[in-house]
């Protein structure tokens, strides 16, 4: 399989050509890890989400429709759906992935890299604290655009929204974040008003 093959070609071949899955994995694993690191608390959870995502890519590759957008939003949409499920069955998925020969054991260096990615995503101090105070819906649209680097159409595809609906949700999320970061000032104390009037 050619390293430069289009995503649609790779996805058509992943069930029959192990090289196609490997190329697709190498092409997008960093983006999926980055996505997961901002949404998981532990390196093991990041590893689970990444493994489950690529297993689902393998299993559902035939449902990919290139006319509906790029492969990255489709892949991140899979990750989003897996992450949002309360009852994950990851142990079965890891077993299936191990049987297919597509997984490798995580080394201590892998865990250290995942911990660094999680820490980097948490270093935004005040913004991170403000993001935690938002509703999950608002937080997710801001993460997709601001941290995952997706354009509006790609982010809309991840969430299964129309571009217009996504833009409306993003506008509301940005407004909510502004209210958290820049609360309206309290009314000035009376003496401040008097001082302002005399100067």
Q: Is the Cβ–Cβ distance between 73 and 27 less than 8 Å?
A: no
b/e per residue 9-24 (b: at least 16 CB within 10 A): ebbbbbeeeeebbebb
pLDDT of residue 178: 76
pLDDT computed for residue 103 by the predictor: 46
User: Which pLDDT score, from 0 to 100, does residue 194 have?
Assistant: 45
Whole-number pLDDT of residue 90:
43
Q: Using the predicted structure, report yes or no on whether residue 173 has a pLDDT greater than 90.
A: no
| Range 149-178 average pLDDT | 88
pLDDT at 166 over 70: yes
pLDDT given for residue 5 in this prediction? 87
**57, 78 Cβ separation under 8 angstroms:** yes
Neighbours of 141 (CB within 10 A): 25
Nearest to 77 by CA among 155, 190, 6: 155
On average, the pLDDT of the chain sits at 77
Share of the chain above pLDDT 90, in %: 17
Residue 81 has pLDDT above 80, yes or no: yes
> Domains in the chain, ordered, with CATH?
1-123 (1.10.1740.10), 124-183 (1.10.10.10)
Handedness of CA 72, 111, 120, 174 (dihedral sign): positive
pLDDT of residue 61 exceeding 60:
yes
Burial class of residue 114 in the structure, from the number of CB atoms within 10 Å of its CB (0-12 exposed, 13-18 middle, 19+ buried): buried
Q: Which two tokens stand for residue 24?
A: 């697709």
Residue 67 vs residue 100, higher pLDDT: 67
Q: From the CB of residue 152, how many other CB atoms can be counted at a distance below 10 Å?
A: 16
């Amino acid at each position: 399989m050619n390293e430069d093959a289009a995503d649609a070609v790779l996805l058509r071949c992943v069930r029959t050509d192990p090289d196609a899955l490997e190329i697709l994995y190498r092409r997008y694993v960093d983006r999926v890890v980055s996505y997961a690191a901002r949404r998981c608390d532990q390196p093991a959870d990041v590893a689970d989400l990444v493994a489950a995502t690529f297993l689902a890519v393998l299993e559902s590759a035939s449902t990919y429709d290139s006319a509906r957008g790029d492969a990255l939003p489709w892949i991140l949409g899979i990750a989003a759906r897996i992450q949002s499920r309360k009852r994950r069955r990851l142990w079965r998925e890891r077993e299936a992935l191990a049987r297919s020969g597509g997984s490798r054991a995580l080394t201590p260096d892998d865990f250290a890299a995942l911990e660094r990615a999680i820490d980097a995503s948490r270093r935004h101090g005040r913004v991170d604290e403000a993001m935690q105070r938002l509703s999950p819906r608002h937080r997710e649209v801001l993460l997709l655009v601001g941290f995952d680097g997706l354009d509006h159409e790609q982010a809309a595809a991840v969430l299964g929204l129309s571009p217009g609906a996504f833009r409306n949700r993003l506008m509301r999320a940005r407004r909510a974040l502004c209210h958290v970061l820049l609360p309206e000032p309290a009314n000035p104390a009376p003496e401040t008003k008097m001082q302002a009037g005399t100067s």
